[in-house]
């Protein structure tokens, strides 16, 4: 009896600890293909991972992920064009503009069934 009760408590605890995730379903086939193309790129995935929890500058991303600066700039532009990053900016003490980037998504779910492609964004 104790084993059964303990399993029940474990199940209830894991159920109550689940977090509801906000998602956004992409309806347009053109957008689906563009998003899948972006996340197929290893640099875009690496950058999204780096900026998932905390906004970072291009220099921080390049240093952390060992990606050339020019590549980070190009991929950030691609991610921005596809509305996958949020941009914020500040002015440094030296008067330079500093942009920080944060991922708008935590993940992507895709499904191909009966000739129809579905893409769902898990929002950050």
User: pTM of this prediction?
Assistant: 0.76
User: What is the CATH number assigned to the segment(s) 2-123?
Assistant: 1.10.10.10
Give the separation between CA 57 and CA 69, rounded to whole angstroms: 11
Give the separation between CA 75 and CA 84, rounded to whole angstroms: 11
pLDDT score, position 28: 78
Over residues 106-114, the mean pLDDT reads: 89
For the segment 7-20, what is each residue's pLDDT rounded down to a tens digit?
Answer: 444 444 444 445 56
| Contact assessment for residue 110 and residue 119, using Cβ atoms and an 8 Å cutoff | yes
Q: Where are the alpha helices (DSSP H) in the chain?
A: 2-16, 29-40, 42-50, 58-65, 69-81
Domain ranges of the chain: 2-123
Which residue did the predictor score with more confidence, 11 or 108? Answer: 108
pLDDT score, position 78: 96
pLDDT score, position 6: 44
């Amino acid at each position: 009896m104790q084993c059964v009760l303990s399993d029940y408590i474990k199940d209830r605890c894991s159920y109550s600890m689940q977090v509801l995730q906000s998602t956004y379903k992409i309806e347009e086939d053109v957008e689906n293909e563009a998003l899948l193309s972006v996340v197929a790129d290893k640099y875009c995935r690496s950058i999204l991972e780096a900026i998932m929890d905390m906004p970072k500058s291009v220099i921080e991303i390049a240093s952390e992920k060992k990606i050339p600066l020019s590549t980070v700039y190009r991929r950030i532009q691609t991610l921005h064009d596809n509305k996958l990053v949020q941009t914020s900016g500040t002015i440094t003490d030296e008067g330079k503009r500093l942009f920080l980037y944060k991922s708008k998504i935590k993940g992507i779910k895709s499904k191909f069934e009966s000739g129809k492609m579905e893409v769902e964004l898990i929002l950050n």
